[in-house]
Amino acid sequence: MWDYIKYYFAPLVQALAIWGFYKGGDFTWIAIGAFPAIAVFDALLPFDLSKRRMKSHFWAYLPVWISALLLPVMYFVFAWSVGHHLSAWQLAGGVAGLAWLSVVPGVPATHELYHSRGRLARFAGRYGQIAFLDTMRMEVHVVGHHRDVGTAEDCDTARRGTNLYSFVARSMLESTRLELKLDSDTLQKRGYSRWSIRHSLWRAILAVVVFLGIIYAIGGIKAAGLCLIAMVIARFWVEAFNYYQHFGQVRVVGTPIEKRHVWNHYGTLSRLYAFEITNHADHHLNSYIPYYKLVPDRQAIIMPSIIVCFLSGFVPSLWYGRIIKPALRRWDNEYASQAERRLAMEQNRSAGWDDWFEEPPSKPGKPSTTAWAGS
């Protein structure tokens, strides 16, 4: 029973944030104020490598659904509070909190739903992503990222030497371009115009107009503008989180995707708060596996808390020197195949990084130790 209860941590944080928006005043800072508290505890608590003992799909998915449905509620309640004499300081806290909660637990909850087999879940997962202005992400993620991960074709895999800021700009443009192209290609194959009214772009625009229209009806033009700012910030942070999940890893096009082609983060709180999206090696082997059946890969390089990684990425020298270079050095020498090592060497040279390659391992993916890369 405890395994089920733990995942209500995410909707609990959302509920507290909504209460803060409703109360107004400095309570609007509850949402973003939860971030440093979660970050500190996630970094200090021991890693959680346990397997979940959950068998009921309904009870396991209930907190996921609650988190997804609370996304628009957060915006609507904040819009209502905007009309109740909030100061600039209080509005700033509300906008930052909305953006943060749109990403976590917003992204993990909607990601879990649109990877489900049910049509209703996929619909909710798709349009729940309006909180970060990307209701078209489902196709490019499922068809593109899950097929191309670790290759130059994948816009969610950052090349070595790429800093967070340039990656986010490129990823936003590339993912949008691929989203539009995938849908246009599908329409053309079905005999329709590439920009037919059936294109998901028009539904995405309509969804944004309707969503902001509701917010405008609740709180006026000021509320709509502030919520749009929160959504734009959230989109930036979404792309930033992608930066950490596969940074620098390489895979030869056409070769099988294996558990080693992902970075896992086993923070005790982040596993709960993010519905296991930081524990997703198995997810790349079978994208239909529900979050509660994902088993931590004990043979993997264990990375520090995802929030620690997220914050360090804003200071590239810290991210490179303290976290990702030590991890990649081990990955190249203990996990990569010989063909992957050649790709890694090319990226290292292009980035101006050290040549840290040793004799190739006899069996890629069979490491000698499971200690954190930075140890």
β-partners of residue 264 are 302
Q: Is 201 helix (H, G, I), strand (E, B) or coil?
A: helix
Q: For the chain, what's the residue count?
A: 375
Residue 367 has a pLDDT of: 46
In a domain, 11, yes or no: yes
Decide: 282 and 289 in contact? Cβ < 8 Å: yes
Which one-letter DSSP state was computed for residue 249?
-
**64 domain-assigned:** yes
What is the per-residue pLDDT for 374? 39
How far is Cα 10 from Cα 95, in angstroms, rounded to an integer? Answer: 19
185, with CB counted inside 10 A (0-12, 13-18, 19+), is: exposed
Contact indicator for 6, 272 with CB cutoff of 8 Å: yes
Which structural domain range is residue 27 located in?
A: 2-254+286-296
In a domain, 99, yes or no: yes
In a domain, residue 124? The reply is: yes
CA dist 8 and 329 (Å) reads 37
In a domain, 202, yes or no: yes
User: Does any domain span residue 136?
Assistant: yes
Packing angle of the helix pair 88-103, 9-23 (nearest 10 deg): 160
Task: Answer for the pair 34, 17: CB distance below 8 angstroms, yes or no.
Answer: yes
Q: Is residue 125 part of a domain?
A: yes
Residues of the chain under the 50 pLDDT cut? 367-375
Domain assignment present for 132 = yes
pTM of the shown model: 0.91
- What are the E-state strand segments in the chain? 264-265, 302-303
Domain count, the chain: 1
| SS3 call for 20 | helix
pLDDT of residue 365: 52
C-alpha span between 17 and 29 (Å, rounded): 8
> What's the confidence (pLDDT) of residue 339?
96
| Six token digits for residue 192 | 């329709």
Q: What is the mean pLDDT of the chain?
A: 92
